[in-house]
Amino acid sequence: MIIKRVSPFSAGKVAALLYALVGLLLGALFSIIAVAGGMAASAASDEHGPGAMFGALFGVGAIVLFPIVYGIMGFIGAMIMALIYNLVAGIVGGIEVDLV
């Protein structure tokens, strides 16, 4: 079996979901670090400034923003790569795959 063409939209949808999941994991990690940093900054100062609140808001924003940005970039990147693959596969013949 030879893969001669990849649907750019189909590849984009799959990549968008995969990248959004990666963005969610990275956003959660970033959130934990931001909240811990805000708490550490607040604990280090005598007065309770906006450090803890800023860290919490930045952390929650990362959980929302990272999956959206990663999903969009994954979608666009996969569509571009599928288009490039289709051009190259037309020249060299595609990728040969053996299915058992």
Cα–Cα separations (whole angstroms), residue 92 to 8, 27, 69, 86, 95: 19, 40, 34, 10, 9
- The tens digit of pLDDT for each residue in 37-96 reads 777 776 666 565 665 667 667 777 888 899 999 999 999 999 999 999 999 999 999 999
- pLDDT band at 18; cut points 50, 70, 90: very high
Residue 44: predicted pLDDT: 67
Q: Are 9 and 86 in contact (CB under 8 A)?
A: no
Confidence of residue 35 (pLDDT cuts 50, 70, 90): confident
Closest residue by Cα to residue 81 from 9, 24, 18: 9
CB 11 within 8 A of CB 78: yes
Question: What secondary structure letter does DSSP report for 35?
Answer: H
Pick the more confident residue, 18 or 47.
Answer: 18
pLDDT given at position 23: 94
Dihedral angle over CA of 66, 72, 78, 80, nearest 10: -130
